Chains A and B, each alone.
Chain A
Amino acid sequence: MKRNYSVALILCVLFSSFAISQSKDLKELQDQFWNPKNKNASITEVPENWQKESAVILYVDEFYKYTNNGKKMYNPSHFHQRIKLLDKAAVEEFSEFSFDKNSSSGYGFVNFYREKSTVGIKVIKPSGEEIIIDVDAESVEQDKEKKIAIPNLEIGDIVDLFVFEDDFQRTFSGTHVYKPVERVISRSFPILFSRVAVEVENDYFLNMESFNGAPKVKEEQTDKKSTRRYAIEATQVEKSDFPRWFYPLAELPSLKFQVTFALRSKNEDYAQVFLADKDAVRKSGVSKEEIVAYYGDRFGAQKRGNVKDVLRYLEDKGIKNKRKQLEEALYYLRHRSYNRFLELLIARENNIRYSALPCDTDYVILNEDTFVNYFAGLAKQLEIDYDVIVATADYNGTIDNLLLRSNVSYGLRFNFDEPMYLFDVSPHVQSDYFPENLEGTKVYTLSVKKNRKLEDVDFDILPVTTAEENISKQLLDVSFTNDFKNIAVNREQHYKGQFKPYELSRRLVFEDFLNEEFTRYNTKHFYHCKKRQSKSDKEAESKMKSVMKTYRDKKIERIEKLVTNEFDVEIKEYDYKVKNTGRYSNDALIISDQFSIENEFVKKAGPNYLVEVGKFIGGQVQLEADEINRTKGVHLDHAKTFHYEVKITIPEGYEVVGLDKLQRNSRSASGSFTSEAVIEGGVLKYTTTKVYAKRKYDVSEWDSMVPWLQEAYDFSQEKIMFKKV
C-alpha cells in the first residue's frame, strides 16, 4: 500500500497585513484561551456517533480584529482549536506543527505577513491531566519557519492549540482591501463547536454573510461604541464531503467575508469592493441599486479615437455584418492586446529582454473595466445596441447572494436577434461562447444611456449551450499485427463549442498559433520592429527561437501524456498534426494523430483472442458504491456529446464473435449512452454516443443519470472474440 494521503480540501483563511510588533504576554494569552469558564472549550468527550472517526475537533474558534490609529492598521487575530485524536494516523498527523511566513501551517490556519506569532499548546490526557508544552523550548527554527514536535502524544489525547498574531501595517494610500475569505463551515474532521468572528472599528468596512443553511451571522456586544463584532457559530458539523461534480460554495453551508480599510470617504471610491453605506456596519448583500451605483462610476464607453485602429481594420477588410464586426474585433483584440504580449512575457521570464514592446501602439492595456468600456465604445461606433452584464460564476453561488466584488464577472450583451456575450479575453476566446460557469446563471443587465450612464437594472438568465453544439468526436482506425501484440491506431479528433477553447489550450503549440496571428494581422515579433535588425535584436531573435523550441518540445511531451491518460495505457510512436485550429470561426478544431499500443487490451484463449474493444472509447466514469446514493446536485462543465466511430480491421483468418455485446441503449432525459456495431467488408465498425444533456442537474435527477453512466463504463470493459477460422 503506497502511502498516499489525499488530504481533504482545506479551505484556508487568508488575509494580509504587514507587521512588526510585540506579542501579548504568553501567560495572559494562556489564561484567555484556556479559560475554564468557556464551557464550549472545556468539553473533552466525543459524541457516540463520531467514535470511529480518526479525530474530532471539539472546539475551533477563529477571530480577526481590525483597528487603526489613523497611521497604522492593527490586525490581531487568533486561531484556537481543540482536537481529540482517536487513532494512530491522527496522532501522526497532529504531532508536528509548523508555522512560518506566507505558508499554511499544519493546522490549516494561515495569516499572511505575520512577524510575531504566539503559540500555546497543551495536551489533555484521557485522565484529565493537562500538560502545557513549552513551545519555545520544544521548537526549532530555520529560515523563519518554526516547527514543533508535540511531545508525549498518544491516542485519546486532546491537543489544545492557539496561535495569536499581533500584526500591524502602515497604510500609504488610506485604502487597503484585504483578501476575501470564502469557505465551507465544515472541515476535514467533524466539529462539535465552531466559531468565526470578525471585529471592525470605524473606517473599516465589512462584507460578511453565511449561506446555504449555515447558521446566521450574529452581532455581539462590544465594549467600545466605535467597534462592532459579528460571529458565526455552528455546532455538530459533520466532516466535509466533496462528491464528484460538485461546487461546495454553491450548496454546502458556507461563509464569506471581506474587510476593507478606507480612511477618508474619498478613498472609499477607489476600493474595488462593494462597500456598505456606513463603516463598521456589516454589509450582508448587494442590492441592484448598489450595482448600478458601483458600475455606474466605472462605466464609460471609450471614444472613437481609442477604437479607431479596430475600425480601420474592419473597414480595410470590408466587414459589414455587425455581428461579424464584433467577432473580428474580438479576435483582433485577442492578438493585439493579449497573445502577442505573452511572447513579451516569455522574453522577460527568460532574461532575453526585460521590457520589450510591440512594434506598434495599436493595443489597449486590458483589465475588466477597460475591456467593457472598450467594447462599449466600439459598439457605439458600429451602432450596435448593447447592455452591460454583471454576473457571477455558479461555483460562487447565485447573483442574489452576491457579497464580494471578486465574485463578479463583468461583461456585455450585444442585442442581436441571438445575443452575443463577451466577458473576457483569453488566448483562444470564441465570440459565440462565454465562460461555461456563467451559463444558465441569473445576471443583472444594465442598460446604457448616451453611452455614459447606466440605468434601468433588470435581471436576465444567460443562455446555456447544448449537447448538440459541444461535441467531442473521434474517428479511430484500429489494426492489429498478426500476433495481436501490437495495435496501431490512426485517429482524427474534432472538438466544437465549449470543448474547443479548452482543447486548443491543451493541444496547440504556442509558437504555432502566435505565428498564425502575426501573419493574419500583419504584425511583427518585437525583434523585427526595426527595418535593419540591430545586433541585439538578432541575438534576441535567436534566443527566442531557442526558447520556443524548448517550449514546443515540452508541449509535445505533455500532449503525449494526455493521450496516455485518455487510454490509460502507455502509447508509443506518437505523431500528430493540427488540421484545422478553428480559432476564427465556429468550425471544429481538428487534429489527426497516430500511435501504437503494445501488449494491452488483448487476452488469449487457446487459438482465439479476446479483445477489450470497449477500451478504444477511452476511460469512462466508474461510479463507486458510495456514489450511487447521492445527496447533492450535479455540476458539470457544460452539456456535451462524446462521439466515437471506431473501425477495427479484422485480421485475416479470424471471425468476430459477440457483436451483440456492443449494442447498447440507455437513454433518459438527463443523458444517454448508445452504441451500434456492424461488420462490413472485413471491418468491425462501432459507434458510441454519450450525451450529458445538461450542465446542472438537481439531485433528484441523479437516479436517471446512473444507468447511462454505468452503461458507458460497462461498454468500456466489454470484450469480443476474434475466433480462429
Chain B
Amino acid sequence: MPENISLAKELKAKYEDDDIVIKNKTTRVTFKRNKQSGKLEALVSEKLNLVGISSSARIQYPVFYDSESKVERFMLKSNKGRDVTGMVKDEAIKSQDLFHTDYRVKYTNLSFPLQGYNRLLEIEKKYTDSKYFTSLYFSDRFPVLNGKLIVTLPSWLELDIKQFNFEGYSIEKKETTKDGSSVITYSYSDLDAKSEEENMLGPSYMYPHVLFIAKSFKTKDSTVNLFSSTEDLFKWYNGLVQSVEIDHSVYAEKVKELISDAGSDEEKIKNIYYWVQDNIRYIAFEDGIAGFKPDSPQNVYTKRYGDCKGMAILTKSMLEEAGFDSRLVWIGTDRLAYDYSIPSLSVDNHMIAAVVLDGETIFLDGTEKYNRFGEYATRIQNKEALVQDSDSFKIIKVPETESVPNLDKTAYQFQVQGESLLGFAHRTFSGETRVSFQNSYHSFGGDKKEERLSNYLGGSNQNFFVDNIDISDEEDREKDLSIDYTVLVENSVTEFDGVLYLEIDPTKQLIPEINENRATPFRHYLKESYITEVTLTMPEGYTKTELPEDLIISNDLLDIQVKYNHQEGKVNYIHSVVLKKRVIEKSQFEMWNQAFDRLKEQLNQQITLTK
C-alpha cells in the first residue's frame, strides 16, 4: 500500500541504520498465585507490529528464556492477521564466557520483502517464580515508535516498581483501578534501538526500564513474604550458601602447606589467595539454582575449576581453615547501575570473598588472575558489597585503588643509524595494566608467546623490531612488571639535503577516536596512563635541532603532554596521556575528538636535526 511505503520511507530517513522499526509495542504484565507451588507467577505478553523500512530485510526475532521461565506463545502474523509463524527454532545460547548456561532462545525468521511490509508478533512468557522476573526494558532491538507497558497489580499483591533512566525520554505514567486491581500504564514513544557498540556502559545505565520488586502477597489465610527488604534478599542468598556441605579435610593439608613458611598473617592470606588465583581455572556454570548456589569448596578444590562462587567459597573456606575471619560477598560489577537499597536478584552478578584482618575488610576475587592482595579491579571499585557478618550482613563500598596507577610506561634510549633508530627500551606495567598484560601474555603458548610479545611491544608500527627481550618475573604480582629489550625502528629517519627528519616517537600511542555518531557514552576499560620517554643522542656532527612546539591538553577527561627539549647533545621527548574519567558522555565526544586530532597531528610532526 502506498501510504505504508511513504511512511517506511519517512522512517528510513529518520533511522538510517535500521532495517526494521516497531510501530507499536504493547506489553502486559499480570501476576498469579500458583496454589500448587505456593509461588507468585508473572506473565508477560507482548504484541509487536514490525515494519520493514529498507528495500528488503530478513531478520531473526529472538525471545530469551531459562529454566525459571517459559515461552508459552510465539506467533508471527501477517498484516491481515494470518498465522505465518513458520518454523520456531529453539537453541541453547552459547557463550565464550560461560562454559554452561541454561539460557535458551526461541526465534523465528522474518522476511520483509518490500519496503513498508508489516508483521505482527505475539509473545507470551511466563516466570514460574516472580523472584526471577526482575526488569523490563522499554527499548528494543529496533526503534520503537509507540509503546505501552501495562502492569496489573491485584490488591493481594504488594509490589514496587522502580523507574530508571526516564529522564530525556517521553514516558508517561498513569494509574487507574479496574476490578479492584490497580493498573499502571507507561506510554512511551520514539525510542532508538538498543545499541551494540564497543566500550558501552551496561544497559541498566542507559536505557529506560523498570524493576519489579515483589515484596509480598496475601493468600486466603496468610501473607507470603518475598523480597521486601535487603534482609530478605540476604536471607535467601545466605540460605543457599549455608546449605552447601563443607568438608575442610579435603584441602586442610594444602592450607597447612601454604601457610607453614609464612611469617605474617598477611603473607598467609596472600599465599592462599594467590594459590586460588593460580590453580583454579575459571569455568562458569549458570544453570537454575546453580546460578546462585556455589559448588562445595572441596569439589572446586579437587576439580581445580569453578565459577566465581566456587572460587569465592574455596577462598573463604581455606582462609577459615587457616584460622582467619573470612566471609562471602555478593556484589554487582560496574555493568550494573543498582545498589543494595533494592532487594532484587538483578542487583548483583558476582561473588567474591573477604577477609577481616586487624579490623579491616579486605576483598579477595579469585577470578582476577594476577590481582595483587589489597588492590581491587576497576569493575568492582566503588560498588556496594553485601558482606556476610555472622548471621547478618554489612554493606561496604569497595574502595578505589588510588595508590597504584594503571600505568604503561616505556623509556627509550635511541641513536640514529642510517634511516633507523636503534637503542634500548625499558617498559613497565603497573596496576591493572600489569594484570591485563600478564593475562594476555599467558594466553599464548610455546614459541608464540615471544612472537606475540614482540608484535605487541611495537604497537601498530610495522617497522618496529625488538630483540633480546628480558622480562621480569612474569608470574609475580607483588612487583610491577618490567621488560627490557633492544629496539630497531626502521624508516624513522629521512635525510633531505643533509638535514635529518626524525620521527622520535616509535609507537605514537594515540587515544581512541570516538565515532561522533555513536549512540551511547564511551567507557574506557580502565582509567589508564601511558608514558613514552625518549632520549636521543644527537648523531655526530649534528648540533642544531628544530623541535615542534609542545602540546599540553588538560580537561575534565584527560591530560596530555607532548614535550621536547635539546640539552647537552641529547634530545629529550616525553609523551604522556592520563585518562581522568572512564566514561565519556555523548556531549563530550567533540571535546575528546578534538584532543584526538591535536594529538595525532602533534605525533605526526618530525624533529629536524642539522649540522
User: Chain B residues with Cβ under 8 A from A365's Cβ?
Assistant: none
Interface string of A303-347 (1 = CB under 8 A from B): 000000000000000000000000000000000000000000000
- Chain A interface size, as a band, is 35 or more
Instruction: Give the contacts of B501-530 with A (CB-CB under 8 A).
Output: 501, 503
Query: Using Cβ atoms and an 8 Å threshold, which residues of chain B touch A224?
Result: none
Residues of A near B199 (CB, < 8 A) are none
1/0 contact string of A538-553 vs chain B (CB within 8 Å)? 0000110111011001
Given A351-B113, A604-B606, A657-B496, are A717 and B597 also a contact pair (CB < 8 Å)? no
Contact with B along A594-638 (1 / 0, CB 8 A): 000001001111100010000000000010010000000000000
Interface-lining segment among B50-58, B223-231, B232-240: B50-58
Please tell me if the beta carbons of A602 and B283 are within 8 angstroms of each other in the complex.
no
B61–chain A nearest beta-carbon distance, Å:
16
Q: Please report the C-alpha to C-alpha distance between residue A140 and residue B446 in the assembled complex, in whole angstroms.
A: 31
The one of B114, B444, B446, B453 that contacts A546, using a Cβ cutoff of 8 Å: B114
Docked complex Cα distance between A543 and B448 (Å) = 51
Q: Contact: B496 with A717, CB < 8 Å?
A: no
A89 in contact with B114 given A152-B302, A350-B56 (CB within 8 Å): no
Checking B54, B100, B305, B462 against A142 with a beta-carbon cut-off of 8 angstroms, the contacting residue is B100
A424 CB-CB contact with B under 8 Å: no
Known: A96-B283, A543-B113, A605-B608. A154 touches B304 (CB 8 A): yes
Closest-CB distance, A529 to chain B (whole angstroms):
20
**A48-78 interface mask toward B, CB cutoff 8 Å, 1 = contact, 0 = none?**
0000111100000000000000000000000
Any A CB within 8 A of the CB of B99: yes
For A545, the chain B residues whose CB sits under 8 A away are 55
If A53-B447, A152-B302, A657-B497 touch, whether A1 touches B441 (CB-CB below 8 Å) is: yes
Given contacts A53-B447, A550-B57, A603-B606, contact A152 B440 (CB under 8 A): no
Cβ of A694 within 8 Å of any chain B Cβ, yes or no, is no
State whether A149 touches B496 (Cβ < 8 A). no
> Residue A143 at the B interface, CB < 8 A?
yes
Minimum CB–CB distance from B35 to chain A (whole Å) comes to 32
Residue of A606, A657, A719 near B608 (CB, 8 A) is A606
A717 to B491, CA, bound (A): 7
Query: Does chain B have a CB within 8 A of A390?
Result: no
CB pair B446 A53 closer than 8 Å: yes
In the complex, are the beta carbons of B600 and A1 less than 8 A apart?
no
* B442 CB-CB contact with A under 8 Å: yes
Instruction: Please measure, in the bound complex, the distance between the C-alpha atom of A489 and the C-alpha atom of B446, giving whole angstroms.
Output: 45
Against B, the Cβ 8 Å flags (1 = close, 0 = not) of A341-366 are 00000000011100000000000000
- Rounded to whole angstroms, the CA-CA distance of A350 and B58 in the bound complex is 8
B281, B304, B449, B601: which has the most chain A beta carbons within 10 Å?
A: B281
Contact A543 B114 (CB under 8 A): yes
Q: Is the CB of B605 within 8 A of A604?
A: yes
Q: How far is the CB of A538 from chain B (nearest CB, A)?
A: 12
- From A55, A90, A95, name the one whose CB has the most chain B CB atoms within 10 angstroms: A95
Query: Is A89 a contact of B608 with CB atoms below 8 Å?
Result: no
User: B56 and A3: CB pair below 8 A?
Assistant: no
Chain B min CB distance to A14 (Å): 22
Whether, in the assembled complex, A402 has its beta carbon less than 8 Å from a beta carbon of chain B, the answer is no
Any B CB within 8 A of the CB of A378: no
Query: Which residues of A lie under 8 Å from residue B57 when comparing CB positions?
Result: 550
Are A550 and B54 in touch, CB under 8 angstroms?
A: yes
How far does the Cβ of A133 sit from chain B's closest Cβ, in whole Å? 10
B296 adjacent to chain A (CB < 8 Å): no
Is the Cβ of A603 less than 8 Å from the Cβ of B605?
A: yes
Smallest beta-carbon distance A125→chain B, Å: 12
Are A147 and B491 in contact, with the CB atoms below 8 A?
no
A603 x B503 contact (CB < 8 A): yes
A140-166 interface bits toward B, Cβ cutoff 8 Å, 1 = contact, 0 = none: 101101010101111000000000000
Pick the residue among B99, B443, B501, B600 that contacts A96 (CB under 8 A).
B99
CB atoms of B99 and A149 under 8 A apart: yes
Residues of chain B within 8 A (CB-CB) of A549 are 55-56
- Chain B, Cβ-Cβ closest to A93: B445
Question: Within 8 Å CB of A142, what residues of B?
Answer: 92, 100
Q: How far is the CA of A2 from the CA of B443 in the complex (A)?
A: 10
Q: With contacts A546-B56, A602-B604, A603-B606 known, is A86 near B497, CB below 8 A?
A: no
0/1 per residue, B424-465, Cβ < 8 Å to A?
000000000000010011111111110011001000001101
B494 within 8 A of A: yes
By the criterion CB–CB under 8 Å, are B445 and A547 in contact?
no
**Most B C-beta atoms less than 10 A away, residue of A1, A152, A717:** A1
Q: Residue among B113, B114, B465, B546 with the most chain A CB within 10 A?
A: B113
Contacts of A606 in B (CB 8 A): 546, 608
Q: Is the CB of B445 within 8 A of A2?
A: no
In the assembled complex, the Cα of A610 lies from the Cα of B447 at a distance in Å of 39
C-beta contact mask, A422-449 vs B, less than 8 Å → 1, else 0? 0000000000000000000000000000
- Pick the contact of A610 from B54, B441, B449, B606 — CB < 8 Å? B606
Q: Answer whether residue A561 sits at the interface, using C-beta atoms and an 8 A cutoff.
A: no
Q: Closest CB-CB distance, A83 to chain B, in whole Å?
A: 12
Q: How many A-B residue pairs have CB under 8 A?
A: 144
Question: CB < 8 Å: which of A151, A622, A657, A658 contacts B462?
Answer: A622
Q: Mark B598-611, 1 if CB is under 8 A from A, else 0.
A: 00110011111000
- In the complex where A3-B440, A599-B597 touch, is A95 in contact with B281 (Cβ < 8 A)? yes
Say whether A92 contacts B281, CB under 8 Å.
yes
- Taking the closest CB of chain B, its distance from the CB of A562, in whole angstroms, is 21
A721 touches B111 (CB 8 A): no
* Chain A residues within 8 Å of B174, by CB: none
> Residues of A contacting B279 with CB < 8 Å?
154
Whether a CB of chain B sits under 8 angstroms from the CB of A87 is yes
CA–CA, A90 and B446, complex, Å: 9
For the complex, what is the distance from the CA of A603 to the CA of B56, rounded to whole Å?
45
Complex Cα–Cα for A96 and B115 (A): 47
B91 at the interface (CB under 8 A from A): yes
Q: Is the beta-carbon distance between B501 and A605 smaller than 8 angstroms?
A: yes
Q: Is A88 an interface residue (CB 8 A)?
A: yes
**Bound Cα distance from A602 to B603, whole angstroms:** 11
Are B113 and A89 neighbours in the complex by a CB distance under 8 Å? no
Report chain B residues within 8 Å CB of A1. Answer: 437, 440-441, 452-453, 456
- Checking A89, A550, A602, A622 against B55 with a beta-carbon cut-off of 8 angstroms, the contacting residue is A550
Which residue of B has the minimal Cβ distance to A6?
A: B448
Which of B55, B99, B447, B465 has most A Cβ within 10 Å? B55
B80 within 8 A of A: no
In the bound assembly, the distance between CA atoms of A96 and B281 in angstroms comes to 11
Contact residues, A528-585 vs B (CB, 8 A) = 542-543, 545-547, 549-550, 553
Q: How far is the CA of A2 from the CA of B91 in the complex (A)?
A: 30
Q: Which residue of A lies closest to B475 (CB)?
A: A88
Point out the residues of chain A lying under 8 angstroms from B304, CB to CB: 151-154
Q: With A606-B608, A610-B501, A717-B463 given, is the CB distance from A140 to B115 under 8 Å?
A: no
29 A-B residue pairings within 8 Å (CB atoms): A1-B440, A52-B446, A53-B447, A88-B442, A89-B445, A89-B449, A91-B281, A95-B283, A142-B100, A149-B99, A151-B303, A350-B113, A543-B113, A546-B56, A547-B56, A550-B54, A550-B56, A603-B503, A603-B605, A604-B548, A605-B501, A605-B607, A606-B546, A657-B497, A658-B494, A658-B496, A717-B463, A721-B496, A723-B496
Chain B residues near A (Cβ < 8 Å): 54-58, 91-92, 99-100, 111, 113-115, 279, 281, 283, 285, 287, 302-305, 437, 440-449, 452-453, 456, 462-463, 465, 490-491, 494, 496-497, 501, 503, 546, 548, 597, 600-601, 604-608
Given contacts A53-B446, A95-B281, A153-B281, 15 further A-B pairs with CB under 8 A are A89-B446, A90-B446, A140-B285, A147-B100, A350-B113, A542-B114, A546-B56, A547-B113, A550-B57, A553-B55, A610-B494, A717-B490, A719-B494, A721-B494, A721-B501
Chain A interface residues (CB < 8 Å from chain B): 1-3, 5, 52-55, 86-93, 95-96, 140, 142-143, 145, 147, 149, 151-154, 350-352, 542-543, 545-547, 549-550, 553, 599, 602-606, 610, 622, 625, 657-658, 661, 714, 717, 719, 721, 723
